[in-house]
Structure 1
């Protein structure tokens, strides 16, 4: 397994990780109700606070930041000038979020077992998957399939036609962090096993790529390196993806 190193610490339950175009890292502090920016010189700055249980975070190509408030059921947008506003409300414990291939925001409704697609241009919401059990993470593959990690122990592949296929038999408790690494492969936090695993959705072959991660929750892929947020020590760790 690749060598892992701690890149930043002193977070309060780091749940989501994202990067802007300059390479600065942003981390949601679930129990700290805040969002931290870590600049390239490792200086830390709280860029937003008073958001109840921030969970998922993504950043678009214009460096706008989107964060889900698990505690208050809304999506927050922070523009590059620092202006912040709720842009969509009425969710049900929204947890992990991701961009779809067509630029919509995919949101996991943990308590209702749904995936919601939010059109950021007009604010329209559409439920695109139902019948899941505590979904906390979602990623989309190039063929428009979804893979959803669920705290119940399920990892589910959802085909573009809506067919759901269970692929998580080797996982204990898939967590919030899930990213597409190739057209057929996703990397997933296995929170219940304190690991990061890769799964090929064509062959169902599972590979463990990191272990002994106390309370692993967050996962991001940036410049061929994985970034893993662990609640056990309040840290973010870095691991080469090769």
Structure 2
């Protein structure tokens, strides 16, 4: 009888690990969305993409509204420590800055198809270049200081049609090409490696949480994740069938998952279904 509490704890832990479900949180516009980010208040922002002008806001209970409009193709997004939102505009080849009071200003212009965007703990802004005009030949990561000055941070070594970009807890950068399924790692000393590849995958925007890089694939209709500690890539969710089915991770189905965002405070992973305009949710 003395061992019973330990058995109960073990069963509870086992259930918690394997009871993660995919659910549908909200419906937005069909064929909408490219990037996602969670605000400091826990709302989800969804950028329209190259052919849209808006960023939508989705509350944790699924209410949808327009966050801001009149942007030239918003894609990547990132918050600095002061609550300013930086947005890469693919069609406008620019980056804008939006204050907490929604004052919009130009931050950078004349870029070569900016796509992914991430802000580090020093408020430096890192932007991937996909290549303007859908060329897919951008192949660079730029680093901007808060004053707008920038340097070419990394290029080459297979980086080509770069989109997704995030940081892990050790300040390493992870980024992806859109076509080919390659995950690249750029260390703090700018050393490049390719720790994982998903055959035949397209990878758009990615996110990071608790030692995992999450990689939704719109064409394979699955969510993958890479463990930065042990270097293992695994199939995380989705059967690969082109449907929308809520349920357990491996039994769930996705139509076109092309972006994701993490709410680290509440342990939620949000996934954007671009074609059907759905926000899906996984609670950790």
TM range (shorter): 0.7 to 0.9
* Structure with greater proportional strand content: 1
How has the CA–CA distance of structure 1 residues 104 and 183 changed in structure 2, closer, same or farther, with 3 Å as cutoff?
A: farther
* Structure with greater proportional helix content: 2
1:102 aligns with 2:170: yes
Deviations 1:104-144 (A, max 9, x none): 1110112231111111x3111111111240111222331x2
2:271 is aligned to 188
2:282 is aligned to 199
1:82 aligns with 2:148: yes
Number of positions where the alignment pairs a residue of Structure 1 with one of Structure 2: 199
Segments ≥4 residues shifted beyond 3 Å? 158-161, 180-185
Deviations 1:11-52 (A, max 9, x none): 122111111111111111111111111122322111111112
- How is 1:118-157 mapped onto 2 (pairs within 5 angstroms)? 118-119=186-187, 121-132=188-199, 133-142=201-210, 144-152=211-219, 153-157=221-225
2:116 counterpart SS class: strand
1:63 is aligned to 123
Could you tell me which runs of 5 or more consecutive residues in structure 2 were left unpaired when the two chains were aligned. 1-60, 132-137, 240-252
Root mean square deviation of aligned Cα:
2.0
CA radius of gyration, larger in? 2
Could you tell me which runs of 5 or more consecutive residues in structure 1 were left unpaired when the two chains were aligned. 202-242
Equivalent position to 2:139, from 67, 73, 86: 73
1:51 is aligned to 111
2:24 is aligned to none
How has the CA–CA distance of structure 1 residues 33 and 158 changed in structure 2, closer, same or farther, with 3 Å as cutoff?
A: same
Q: Distance in 2 between matches of 1:161 and 1:64?
A: 27
Is the contact between residue 76 and residue 84 of structure 1 (CA under 8 Å) also seen in structure 2? yes
Equivalent position to 1:5, from 47, 53, 65: 65
How has the CA–CA distance of structure 1 residues 150 and 180 changed in structure 2, closer, same or farther, with 3 Å as cutoff?
A: farther
**TM-score normalized by structure 2?**
0.65
Cα shift at 1:92 = 2.0
Q: Distance in 2 between matches of 1:122 and 1:181?
A: 27
**TM-score normalized by structure 1?**
0.75
